[in-house]
Amino acid sequence: MEQGNRPIPNRLKMHRKVMGLKQRHVARLLGLHDTKPISLWEKGQAMPNSVNLIKLSIIYRTFPNELYYELFGELREELTALEARQPANQ
């Protein structure tokens, strides 16, 4: 999976809007000082670290793979192909 400069597809903004939350409120819940990281994540210019991803999934009442649905699918395909080429006991 090669992202390069293309945005990282995600559903963060959609889930935030469904919950009726502002970026400012989410930032406060995550202990962030401003909304810049939230904005970068929603635009696909950066990704939250694993702890913030889990926190976001709790805040948005969903699973982490739903927040990054396309990425999850790409990674699953990639790993499934690798598993098919390698014996399980190695």
In a domain, 5, yes or no: no
In a domain, 3, yes or no: no
CATH, residue 51: 1.10.260.40
In a domain, 77, yes or no: yes
Res 90: pLDDT? 62
Res 16: pLDDT? 98
- Measuring CA to CA, which residue among 50, 13, 10, 11 is closest to residue 30? 50
As for how many domains the chain has, the answer is 1
In a domain, 1, yes or no: no
Contact (CB, 8 A) for 8 and 68: yes
In a domain, 74, yes or no: yes
Token duo for residue 56: 């976001």
Give me the average pLDDT of each 10-residue run along the chain (90 residues): 76 98 98 98 97 98 97 95 83
